Amino acid sequence: MESTANTFSEKGTWIKFGCIPFYVRPMTLKQIWEIGELVNKCNIIELQGQFNAIEQLLKHSDDLKKIQKVVTTAVFRSRLMRFLLGWYLIKKTTMSKYQEVITYCAKSFEAPFFFQSMISLRGAKKVAMNTHEAQAHGDL
């Protein structure tokens, strides 16, 4: 209950990359959407029986660049800050810092927060709908 309240009140955390600490806030739905697009672009790893680890690593090496963009997307909400400081985060991100960012972002996916966000967005769509035009099939 307390962590959901912290998520609603936008309580962030400080995560230090290199010498500079960054204030990471809970993700917005736009950030969740952008991260989902990045993850969908990654190739699926299929491992069956014996495999060559180095071959698989080289085969999926371009996916690492997409994963690095996930960190910059999670830390910065604005595209301008991602452009200006994203190179620094990509350079200073270690696996422990990546895990710390992902663990913090996973807390914002709690069910009450997520459903409340969806309900409020659905209500905003109804409020913003033009009532002078006929509704198309499928509109709420």
Residue for token pair 């736009």: 30
Residue 49 lies in a domain: no
Q: Which domain holds residue 21?
A: 2-42+54-126
Residue 7 lies in a domain: yes
Residue for token pair 């301008």: 80
Whole-number Å distance between alpha carbons of 124 and 68: 33
Residues above pLDDT 70, as percent of the chain: 69
Number of structural domains the chain divides into: 1
Residue 47 lies in a domain: no
Q: What is the average pLDDT score of the chain?
A: 74
Residue 133 lies in a domain: no
Residue 112 lies in a domain: yes
Helix (H/G/I), strand (E/B), else coil: 14: strand
Residue 30 lies in a domain: yes
Q: Give residue-wise pLDDT tens across range 77-90.
A: 888 998 999 899 88
Residue 135 lies in a domain: no
Q: Give residue-wise pLDDT tens across range 103-135.
A: 887 776 665 655 665 565 555 445 445 555 555
Residue 67 lies in a domain: yes
- Token couple for 116: 């409340």
